[in-house]
Amino acid sequence: MYKSYSMELAGRTLRIDIGRVAGQANGAALMFYGDTTVLSTATASEKPREGIDFFPLSVEYEEKMYAVGKIPGGFNKREGKASEHSVLTSRVIDRPMRPLFPKDYRNDVTLNNLVMSVDPECNPEIPAMLGSALAASISDIPFDGPCASTQIGMIGGEYIINPSLAQKDVSDLQLTVASTREKVIMIEAGANEIPEDKMIEAIYKAHEINQEVIAFFDTIIAEVGKPKHEYDSYAVPQEVVDALMEMVSAQEMEDAVFTDEKQVREANIRAIKDRLEEAWAEKEEWLPFIDDAVYQYQKKTVRKMILKDHKRPDGREITQIRPLAAEIDIVPRVHGSGMFTRGQTQICTITTLAPLADAQRIDGLDEMETSKRYMHHYNFPSYSVGETRPSRGPGRREIGHGALAEKALLPVLPSEEEFPYAIRTVSETFESNGSTSQASICGSTLSLMAAGVPIKKPVAGISTGLVTGETDDDYVVLTDIQGLEDFFGDMDFKVAGTHDGITAIQMDIKIHGLTRPIVEEAIRRTKEAREYILTEIMEPCIDRPRGSVGPYAPKIIQIQIDPQKIGDVVGQRGKTINQIIDETGVKIDISDDGAVSICGTEQEGMDKAAEMVRIITTDFEAGQIFVGKVVSIKEFGAFLEFAPGKEGLVHISKMAKKRVNRVEDVLTLGDMVKVICMGKDRMGRISFSIKDLPADA
């Protein structure tokens, strides 16, 4: 016997069936939001995974094409690997929930979300986020929930709660906020230069909605929630902690970790671990805890010094940014390159321009978005952190960082009409010690401007961190966190934007939420730092986009034709357009509205192709002058091809001012001849004349 619960959420009914399906999962919720249907389940292994020092949580968001009445493309006709959108949605579910599980829990946990139908008015991400939180809350898996998530849009200055797919497409804000009963635990945003105060207002509007959902969840949990099961704690035994602190003094640990050289710090910590392994050789049961014990000691040391003494590991002030540098054109022959360095974090971004036909095609559940013209890809090789491992392609972290930078730059890109190119930026991480995603935003801005992409404004990104004490008002916000402060701190709050407003936010935390004063201070700090980076570092390097694309970038001419004449340009089975391409060496794209983009590297070929298209689509009138090629000779005259698929007749009587007895006396096959149009003859053919050309033609 299952139970069904419902509430009104943003003008639509949210219905949840418990006990109806997936009875063998630890927790399951069949979510209905409008006609959107998502099955959310939470399962855990019976025993902990051996040999790991982390909580093994896996979050899946499965998009099934039947949800929108489609059969997958390709030969296999089966869903393949997770789409980029699926990966990003999984990350948005994972980030607020992970801190709510016990840190020493080692059982494998999987949160699975199966999208079964999609109502365009109800984004499936909403029931997936809510369903995961509820499934974990009613299960017997240890979880300090519930939490809830809400999306906020903005159209015409008005906030929209949980916008539809169509509304998201025109919204100036795409904000997702997750909350517990008291605090905000996750923020993800893309925005069209939203001012800081408006962003804070939107965040806390979402937080209010989350409280309504959590109250609804509490009633469900009270009725059907299972008691949480006991688990084996993998916390470091107190006797190991005591022995470590006896061998390594607080001052020694402080000396080991407080340096601005990452390699020196790692060598210092390695030396401490070697001493412990040697001293504890006879206590084999202690050896597996060395790494975790030393980590906890480092964390305690760093947090104490930051919180109590405002002393950072590299000696910076709390609001101080690491040394910065900006460069462009460091890579020859590419279309654009920019490098941004912040301390031991260094990113080089390469821009590539191509015809719009090279835009990425998207086969997903969102029918509003079928292609993507701007692509940002982020790579994080092992050498950037001094490690060695084989490259296996981008993981979820790399996909997430690339999407964040893409989101940050989308609002400043020119329209297709202004700049008819597909654009790809690739950020290569040369060196990493914290906040590479924000450095990639800065590097991408430099690279785009160097490539001649007429972006509206430069964008910069910066990250703040947090160390908290025992009470809500005992905390320190850190500007520009490095790796160590990220590892041992409580927050990574990334904000990107222009001088005028925010374009992207991503907030990750390791604690059970942030108070409003912390959120406001973090946003204020990032604005101050962003202004400094733009004004003092990036704009002195390049303050506006170059006036034209580089010599190695393709050039594009765009002309407009009557949409009814697209078929004339394409020709039967593509014969006409392929002939133009073969003769001129260009690429041609034609949109449904008649916009023709001609792309090439040689201006002469592009101009020739443009002229051919114009000729093909022009209504012929007497007096127009053309140059044509003799393709056929008859007794009565010669046929000239003056554009692919377009021919006209020069009658023998029109070939010269004197009498012509044989066509071959004047013209031969292959001759290029300038002619004037005389209109159409009685058979409907275009008629040309050589003898009637004006003297100055």
pLDDT per residue as tens digits for the range 504-559:
999 989 898 999 999 999 999 999 999 999 999 999 999 999 999 998 999 998 88
In this model, does residue 173 exceed pLDDT 80?
Answer: yes
HEC-encoded secondary structure of 475-490: EEEEECCCHHHHHHCC
The per-residue pLDDT for range 538-550, each reduced to its tens digit, is: 999 999 999 999 9
At residue 445 the predicted structure's pLDDT band, cuts being 50, 70 and 90, is very high
Instruction: Break the chain down into helix, strand, coil percent, rounded to 5.
Output: 35, 30, 35
For the segment 33-39, the average pLDDT, to the nearest whole number, is: 97
Q: Is the pLDDT of residue 687 over 70?
A: yes
366's CB contacts (< 8 A; 6+ apart) are: 85, 165
Q: How far apart are CA 526 and CA 532, in angstroms?
A: 10
Give residue 681's pLDDT band: very low, low, confident or very high (50, 70, 90).
Answer: confident
Strands 646-651 and 686-689: parallel
φ, ψ (nearest 5 deg) of residue 80: -100, -140
Highest mean pLDDT of the ranges 333-337, 605-609, 617-621: 333-337
**Conformational region of residue 688, where left means phi above 0, alpha means psi within -120 to 50, and beta covers everything else:** beta
Query: Which has the closest alpha carbon to 142: 105, 111, 115, 114?
Result: 105
Strands (E), 373-468: 374-379, 422-431, 460-468
pLDDT at 75 over 90: no
For residue 6, count other CB atoms closer than 10 A to its CB. Answer: 12
The model's pLDDT over 608-661, given as tens digits with 9 standing for 90+, comes to 898 888 888 877 778 888 888 899 999 899 999 887 777 889 999 889 888 888
What pLDDT score was predicted for residue 96? 95
Evaluate if residue 441 carries a pLDDT over 90: yes
Specify the range with the lowest mean pLDDT, choosing from 82-96, 431-445, 576-590: 576-590
Which structural domains are found in the chain, ordered by start?
3-147+204-224 (3.30.230.70), 238-309 (1.10.10), 324-486+516-541 (3.30.230.70), 555-617 (3.30.1370.10), 625-689 (2.40.50.140)
Bridge partners (DSSP) listed for residue 57? 109
Position 318 confidence tier, pLDDT thresholds 50, 70, 90: very high
Tokens of 361: 């095609």
DSSP string of 166-234?
Answer: HHHHH-SEEEEEEE-SSSEEEEEEEEEEE-HHHHHHHHHHHHHHHHHHHHHHHHHHHHHPPPPPP----
Handedness of CA 564, 568, 573, 574 (dihedral sign): negative
Residues 380 and 216: their CA atoms lie apart, in Å, by: 42
| AA letter at 521 | E
Mean pLDDT of the region 120-138: 97
Rounded mean pLDDT, 217-244 = 92
**Burial class, 224, CB count within 10 angstroms (exposed 0-12 / middle 13-18 / buried 19+):** middle
Give me the pLDDT at residue 353, please: 96
Q: What's the mean pLDDT in 570-596? A: 88
Q: Is the preceding peptide bond at 146 cis, omega within 30 degrees of 0?
A: yes
Short-list 572, 570, 564, 602, CA closest to 585: 602
Mean pLDDT rounded to a whole number for the chain:
92
pLDDT at 393: 82
- Kindly state the percentage of the chain with pLDDT values over 70: 99
Beta-carbon contacts of 517 under 8 Å, excluding residues fewer than 6 positions away, are 473
- Report residue 6's pLDDT band, with 50, 70 and 90 as the boundaries: very high
Residue 50: the pLDDT is: 87
Under 8 Å between Cβ of 638 and 650: yes
Let me know: does 380 contact 432? Beta carbons within 8 Å: yes
pLDDT interval class at 368 (50, 70, 90): low
**How many whole angstroms separate alpha carbon 350 and alpha carbon 337?**
5
For residues 26 and 42, the answer to whether their CB atoms sit within 8 Å is yes
| Distance, first Cα to last Cα, the chain | 90
Strand partners, 629: 641, 672
- Residue type for position 397: R
Taking alpha carbons only, the member of 22, 56, 204, 206 closest to residue 131 is 22
Widest distance between CA atoms in the chain: 116
Q: Poorest-confidence range of 50-59, 187-196, 321-330?
A: 50-59
Q: What angle do CA 537, 539, 542 make, to 5 degrees?
A: 115
Long-range (24+ apart) CB contacts under 8 A made by 44-47 are 44/107, 44/108, 44/109, 44/110, 44/139, 44/141, 45/107, 45/108, 45/109, 46/107, 47/107
Residues whose CB falls within 8 Å of the CB of residue 293, separated by 6 or more in sequence, listed in order = 236, 240, 241, 244
Partners of 424 in the β-ladder: 352, 375
State the Cα–Cα distance between residues 437 and 494, nearest whole angstrom. Answer: 9
Which whole number is the average pLDDT over 21-34? 97
**Which tens digit of pLDDT belongs to each residue from 376-409?**
999 999 999 888 988 888 889 999 999 999 999 9
Phi, psi angle pair for 202, to nearest 5°: -65, -40
Reported as a pLDDT band with limits 50, 70 and 90, residue 369 is low
**pLDDT tens profile 237-269:** 899 888 888 898 888 998 888 887 888 888 999
Helix (H) or strand (E) holding 615: helix 603-617
One-letter amino acid of 480 = D
What values do phi and psi take at 359, rounded to 5? -60, 150
Distance (Å, rounded) from C-alpha 321 to C-alpha 434?
12
Tokens of 373: 């013209």
Residue with tokens 């107190």: 238
pLDDT of residue 367: 60
Strands 587-590 and 595-600: antiparallel
Whether pLDDT at 282 is above 90: no
> What is the value of pTM for the model shown?
0.87
**Sign of the torsion formed by the C-alpha atoms of 232, 233, 236 and 240:** negative
Tokens 């939420």 correspond to what residue? 513
Q: Tell how far CA 326 is from the center of its chain.
A: 23
Lowest mean per-residue pLDDT among 98-102, 319-323, 652-656: 652-656
The answer to whether 95 touches 110, Cβ cutoff 8 Å, is no
Chain centre distance of CA 289: 39
Give the pLDDT of residue 11.
Answer: 93
d(CA 455, CA 503): 14
